[in-house]
Structure 1
Amino acid sequence: MIAAVGVLAGGGASLALATAGNAATTAGSHPAAVAPKAAGAGLADPHKKEIAMELVSSAENSSLDWKAQYKYIEDIGDGRGYTAGIIGFCSGTGDMLELVQHYTDLKPGNVLAKYLPALEDVNGSDSHAGLGSAFVSAWKTAAKDTVFQTAQNDERDRVYFNPSVNQAKTDGLGTLGQFIYYDAIVMHGPGSDPVSFGGIRKTAMKKAKTPAQGGNETTYLNAFLDARKAAMKTEDAHDDTSRVDTEQRVFLNAGNLNLDPPLKWKTYGDSYQILTLP
């Protein structure tokens, strides 16, 4: 299911400078989740995972404070209904429904549980039927609940983080490559069609071999970013490719395959930096 990008950063005229947030919070463990292999390496390192969360948040929510996004919810007009939470769960793509189901498994009778039938009805559309302002208010109330925060962490890891990191490791990619895969699956979803993560990877592999196939890591990652840019340009909501051009490609061109601070980048015209490991 495709996860939509969240709020685009402000216009290029304003340059917001942000520094790194607090240390990483360990995400809860969803029963179906498979932790990334080789714990302690790459994005499995909690400090590098925190950096990944902050990088995504800079593009999704114009802030490095990703933990402030549990309460985020709005319809950004991309045809996917409501986009919400730390990873852009969408009412129209199924991952918001799965999140609320998981939250209800952890805490029956929670403030969002009564919206499960409506979320089932609107899945696959941009409809707000049965949701509306009351649902938006309930989401913001739930976001204060640490159980709901844990549920969001769980679903982020189960659906997006763990699969992308494991695939990157299988492809022989280091920390930067793992992040590039993760950011792509967040925006494009884990599907196999040409504009989803699996299709983007397939396109890249037609142009360059992965390190696991004996290819050069930088050459392959450039091919992947080229394929991702092409996919982004097929949607009006994603046609600003700065998170590739002035973020990921900057790190790649600098040879920072380990994603080590200091990191300085721009997304949607706004400037950010992480000077030290969180």
Structure 2
Amino acid sequence: MDRRAAVTAPGAANALFARAIEESGFEVIYVTGAGIANMHLGQPDIGLTSLSDLVYAVSSIADVVDLPLIVDADTGFGNALNMYQTVRKLERAGASALQVEDQIFPKRCGHFDGKDVVPVDEMLGKIKAATDARQDDNLLVIARTDARAVLGLDAAIERAWAYGEAGADLTFVEAPVDAREMAEITRRLAKPQVANIVFGGRTPDPGRDHLAEMGFSLVLYANATLQAALHATYETLWALRDHGSLDPVADRLSSFDERQRTVRKPHWDSLEKRYALVAGAGRD
């Protein structure tokens, strides 16, 4: 994060997407709360996901990839005590960094209308709880503020500064509306900064080079894979409905071999052979 090189963190809502991200050569994975709400529950990102849903997703992803996981921990699922419990559970599940935010509970997507934020002192208590709860000091705490949409940019930057002073390792001003605001965030805040690019959302996508020039450390593309998969799913279903065949979309489908490689079937085949040899030797 100290490189300020706008490291790209694609979002994964499940272990399959995480495997694809790792196979594609990225350095880090973002476990997206909105993605889990959409893909596992079929619901919008309005605070319906539970801590248990998130822990299960993180542990499943951590089992199949070696990359560090930045986990969207929402509001900590309640007050400061809930935050403490959330950090303990997600760290054990395999998180390398946790993003926590200052929305009221239940929260909603940072690019939705109708958000509100808790008092600053309440969030400072949650940050203290998060830093106290971690067992490994290498677990990063990312403090996000959604105050830009509610109180304006200056208030959001003031909150982010306070959160950094309280112990957050990175800060994250959600949903700036243009490049000028994005540059203002990195200019005025000393801690490493996070940008969140949502296709169709409120924040523009200046591109990695420009974001690095601004000084952002991390750039989340939280649900790009989800949006691509959903679009391809509809196209495939429409082809089956209208043509009774996959022929119209065959060039957009993952091959059988690519699918098996992504889930590491050759690895499991080699393990099966290894243990079969051991069993055979035992019978001899």
TM-score by length of structure 1 reads: 0.30
Structure with bigger gyration radius: 2
* Higher strand proportion (structure 1 or 2): 2
Which structure has the higher relative contact order (CA within 8 Å, separation 6+)? 1
